[in-house]
Amino acid sequence: CPAPSALRTANGTRICAQLYTDNSPYYDQCCAGEVLVVDPGDDMPYMPRGWGNRISSLVVGTRCDLTVWSRSGKRGKSRRFGA
């Protein structure tokens, strides 16, 4: 997985989080598959089409927090992730 401080686009813009569809019990094989990029300030009360119940690993950048909910529309239990 990339280091939280290394989350940047090709032009150097900071990324707040990257969410991945594939995971593994072996660390060198984690953070694989499709990637969903979360930019600073993004607010997504609903997951993009095809992403529901697919995320298995994530990396949150420095100076960012990622809050997720158990139900769509920011309902249900929430959990906050940081770098």
- Whether 39 maps to a domain, the answer reads yes
* Structural domain contains residue 10: no
The total of structural domains in the chain comes to: 1
Q: Which of 54, 82, 61 is nearest to 15 (CA)?
A: 61
The domain in which residue 61 lies consists of: 17-82
Task: Summarize pLDDT for 5-46 with one digit per residue, the tens.
Answer: 999 988 999 999 999 998 777 777 788 899 999 999 999 888
Give a yes or no: residue 11 inside a domain: no
Question: Does residue 69 fall inside a structural domain?
Answer: yes
Q: Which amino acid is at 3?
A: A
Residue 26 included in any domain: yes
User: What confidence score (pLDDT) does residue 22 get?
Assistant: 85
14 Cα distance to chain centroid: 14
Is 52 part of a structural domain of the chain?
A: yes
The larger pLDDT score, comparing residue 81 to residue 53, is at 81
